[in-house]
Amino acid sequence: MPPDGIDGRRPGAHDIGMPTLCRSCFTETAEAASICGRCGSDLLVTHQDLNDLSTAHIDCDAFYANIEKRDNPELKDKPVLVGGGKRGVVMAACYVARLAGVHSAMPMFKALKACPEAVVIKPDMTKYVAVGRSIREMMRNVTPLVEPISIDEAFLDLKGTSRLHGASPAHTVARLAANIQTRHGITVTIGLSHNKFLAKLASGLNKPHGFTIIGRAETSDFLADLPVSHIWGVGKVLQKKLERDGITLIGHLQSHNELELTARYGQMGHRLARLCHGHDSRKVVAGGRRKSLSSETTFEEDITDAKTLKRILWRQTEKVSASLKKEGIGGRTITLKLKSASFKIRTRSQTLSHPTQTADVIYRTAELLLENEANGTAYRLLGVGLSALEQSDHCDPLDLADPNAQRRKQAEAAVDKIRARFGRNVIGKGRMIEK
C-alpha cells in the first residue's frame, strides 16, 4: 500500500477543518469529503497545508503515448508504445502497457514480449514539441518562474501569485492542469510541497492525473517508509550499495547522521543526509537552460563496417548541427555514443577549445573517436551529441592552424541556404554515397 498522503490527504483527512479543493469545479471548503458537494466529482485534494505551499512539479502523463491516443480515439483502451521498430527502445508507454510491465527505455523486443498486443507507433517529435511548447507557455502565463526539466515536465514557483490570480497556489495549479486537459486532451500529474525535491517526489506517487501534497510537518514521517530509490539521483548502482549496507528505506538513512553518511558515501552521502529529511535549498530557476543536444539511431541490423558507421555518423551530425543553428547555440564537448549488440553502451568525448555548431567540425571530431571503436564490434546504435552549450556568438572562430576550415565553413553555410530554400534532401555530401 502507498504511504498516507499519496492522494493529497493526511491521516485523519476526513476530520472537520481540513481544507479541501475540488479539481473539477474548483470549489474550496474547510471540511474534508470524498465527493464534492457542488459537482459530485471525486477528484478532491485534501491537506492541512493546502493553501500554504507554493513549489509545484507538473509532469505530463505518458506524454507521447497519450498524444497519440488523443489523435486516434480507437487507441483509447489499447496498450500503446511509442518508439522505433523491434530493434529500437520504448520512448513512451501508456498506462495500459505499463500494467504489463513495460516501461520507457526498455528494448522494444522485450516490451513486445511482455505485451504482444501493444500498438507500436513511430515518434512524431514535431508534434510532441509543439504540444510541449504550448503547455510551457500556459505555465508561464501562470508564473514567470518556470523551470523546464524536459519536454513534458517542469517546476513552478507559485509564491506571490495569489494576489495575481486571486487564488491559492494549489487552486491555480489545479486550474492549470484542467486547462491543459481541455486544450490539449492530455492529463498531467501535480506534486505540491515546500521544495523541489519533495514536489517532484510527490508528482511521481499517484499517476496518472494525480495531485499529491507533502506538507512541512509531515515530511520526515512521509519519507520514512519510502524506498531509497525514491530519492532523486539514487540509481541502481547506488541502490545496490545501500542495500548491502542494510539501507533499503529512506527511514534507514534518517537513522544515520550526516557525518556517518558522508564518511561512507562521500559527497553523495552528504546529499543523502539532507534529502532523507526533505531538506532542499535549490530555487526554481526560470528558463531551464538546455544542457545538451544530440541525435541517435538504432539500426535494423547490427553493423560492424566502419564505413557504414561513418555514413550514419554524418547523418546524425547534420541533424545535430541543424538543430544547433536553429536554436542559435553551439557546444564545446562532442560525445560519441555507441551501443553494442550485447547492449553495452560506450561513450567517448572530446572537448574543443571553442564552441562549434558546424557539422564539419562535429563530424571530424566524432569520426576520430569512432575510429578507435570501429574495430569489428557489432553495434546496434550510434549517436552524437554536444554539451557545454552556449550562445553562437563565439562559435567557430577563424582557425589559423587550419586554413581550409573557413572555406569548409563557408561551403556548409551555402549548403544550408540551398536546403532552406529547396529542402534538406536537395543536396548532400560525398561521404553520404556508398562506395
Catalytic residue annotation: 153
Measured at the CA of 147, the angle between CA 239 and CA 194, to 5 degrees, comes to 65
What number of CA atoms fall less than 13 Å from residue 292's CA on the CB side? 12
The C-alpha atoms of residue 5 and residue 46 are separated, in whole angstroms, by: 9
- CB 408, CB 360: distance < 8 Å: yes
- CB 313, CB 384: distance < 8 Å: yes
DSSP state letters, 199-262: HHHHHTSS-SS-EEE--STTHHHHHHTSBGGGSTT--HHHHHHHHHTT--BHHHHHTS-HHHHH
3-state helix, strand, coil in the chain (%, to 5): 40, 25, 35
How far are the Cα atoms of 90, 125, 184 from residue 97, in angstroms, in the given order?
A: 11, 21, 22
The C-alpha atoms of residue 235 and residue 232 are separated, in whole angstroms, by: 8
The C-alpha atoms of residue 226 and residue 4 are separated, in whole angstroms, by: 11
The radius of gyration of the chain from alpha carbons, rounded to an integer in Å, stands at 25
The C-alpha atoms of residue 274 and residue 253 are separated, in whole angstroms, by: 10
Say what angle helices 306-327 and 359-371 make with each other, to 10 degrees.
150
- CB 329, CB 351: distance < 8 Å: no
- CB 65, CB 93: distance < 8 Å: yes
The C-alpha atoms of residue 230 and residue 278 are separated, in whole angstroms, by: 12
- CB 9, CB 46: distance < 8 Å: yes
Measured at the CA of 183, the angle between CA 180 and CA 189, to 5 degrees, comes to 20
